[in-house]
Amino acid sequence: MRATLDSSEIADRIAREFVSENDHLSVEPLGEGLINDTFLVTAEPPGAARFVLQRINGRVFPEPGPIMENLRILLSHVRKRQTGTDKARDLRFPEVRPTRAGAGFWLDDQGDFWRALSFIPNTRSHSVLQDAAQAEEVGYALGRFHALTSDLDPASLHDTLPGFHIAPRYLARFDHVVAHRLPASECADLRFAVDFVNARRPVFAVLEKANLPLRVIHGDPKLNNVLFDEKSGRAASLIDLDTVKPGLVHYDLGDCLRSCCNRSGEAAERAANVRFDLDICRAILRAYFAEAGTFLTDIERYYLYDAIRLLPLELGLRFLTDHLEGDRYFKVEHPRQNLERALVQFRLAESVEAQEKFIRQLIHEQP
């Protein structure tokens, strides 16, 4: 669901807290995020700086302050790592734009938390991957992010979303909801979805039982959070850094592959065509390991397939649970949308399972 006109009007008023009082502004909705309301702010006259304005979803992030502290720590660390580098290119990251009073964020009269970030020009995002060359760029972006943060102590960051990607907790929530809110008359799709989850219960705990090392993770490295240079087509940035926190790199790589290897996209009308694309997987893994392979341990490599299988299953479970709870977390445009989103992810998980042998081989091939 895109931001409403009322939201745009509010954003126009809030944007003025981040610019000179007399600036003329253009404020337009930006992107298709399911969590925060995001706007592109352009100051006039033409040529003036543009920036991204976001209202942080308070239901998802009840304490936005730690998000901004994590962002400060992350950007400071990355700047130091990138200083003096001899790499021909590197990722660009947004900078925090202060208010006129010098604060890093603005609280409005309703208690909503707003922040402004620099806009990275001459870039674009994609909702569906175009080809293997673009897949390599995605693998580079995530691998470079992990490489840049590989020596940042995870304990220095706040856990802004406790329980995020902890699949057994999502399963426990699902069980609670099913026990109390499952409709008396279930449609066939809902019955299929519930049975699909129940048949795979052991999968949800695999990563949490593996005693894997905590690292700094992006938390949401799906395809449309990678910005590509409009001219060269190369990956230029990895954005949407609200979910940066301590975690397992498996969450990031699994979610990235979940997003990119489904060439059909996540629209319900194409659910029957959903499959996990091995060529895209190969391209992403090759570029990812070229950047990040040196610091991954043998045990981390061993559990990568489990992550690739788990992440679509986990997201499907979250969509399904939200559907049963009345769509409290993800924005929807109609009452069945979260159920339909869940079915797409479950089809993708099925495709991963059917190709386990080949996916494990792709992982084994990486240096």
Strand order in the sheet with 123-124: 123-124, 226-229, 235-238
Q: Confirm if 99 and 18 have CB atoms less than 8 A apart.
A: yes
Q: Where are the beta strands (DSSP E) in the chain?
A: 24-29, 37-44, 50-56, 96-97, 106-107, 113-118, 123-124, 215-217, 226-229, 235-238, 245-247
Residue type, 94: P
Tell me the C-alpha to C-alpha distance, in Å, between residue 161 and each of 33, 208, 238, 365: 17, 16, 19, 34
pLDDT on residue 3: 45
Q: What is the pLDDT of residues 228-273, one digit of tens each?
A: 999 999 999 999 898 899 999 999 999 999 999 998 877 666 677 8
Query: Which of 175, 113, 130 has its CA nearest to residue 277?
Result: 130
5-119 and 132-365: same fold? no
- Tell me phi and psi for residue 307, to 5 degrees: -70, -40
Q: What is the DSSP letter of 157?
A: S
Q: What's the whole-model pTM score?
A: 0.86
Residue 159 contacts by C-beta under 8 Å, 6 or more apart in sequence? 245, 246
Q: What is the DSSP letter of 18?
A: G
Q: What is the DSSP letter of 318?
A: H
pLDDT on residue 71: 94
CATH topology of domain 132-365: Aminoglycoside 3'-phosphotransferase; Chain: A, domain 2 (3.90.1200)
Kindly state which CATH superfamily the domain 5-119 is placed in: Phosphorylase Kinase; domain 1 (3.30.200.20)
Instruction: Map out the domains of the chain as residue ranges.
Output: 5-119, 132-365
Q: What is the DSSP letter of 159?
A: -
Q: How far apart are CA 253 and CA 308, in angstroms?
A: 8
Query: Which of 218, 94, 240 has its CA nearest to residue 164?
Result: 218
pLDDT on residue 2: 40
C-alpha radius of gyration, the chain, whole number: 21
Q: How far apart are CA 251 and CA 133, in angstroms?
A: 23
Burial 334-350 (b: 16+ CB within 10 A, else e): eebbbbbbbbbbbbbbb
Q: What is the DSSP letter of 51?
A: E
Task: State the helix-helix crossing angle for 249-260 and 304-324, rounded to 10 degrees.
Answer: 70
Terminal Cα distance for the chain, rounded: 42
Q: What is the pLDDT of residues 298-336, one digit of tens each?
A: 999 999 999 999 999 999 999 999 999 998 888 888 988
Low-confidence ranges of the chain (pLDDT < 50): 1-5
Q: What count of Cα atoms within 13 Å lies in the side-chain half-sphere of residue 71?
A: 22
Rounded to the nearest 10°, the torsion over CA 176, 182, 187, 190 is: -10
Q: How far apart are CA 174 and CA 268, in angstroms?
A: 22
Residue type, 188: A
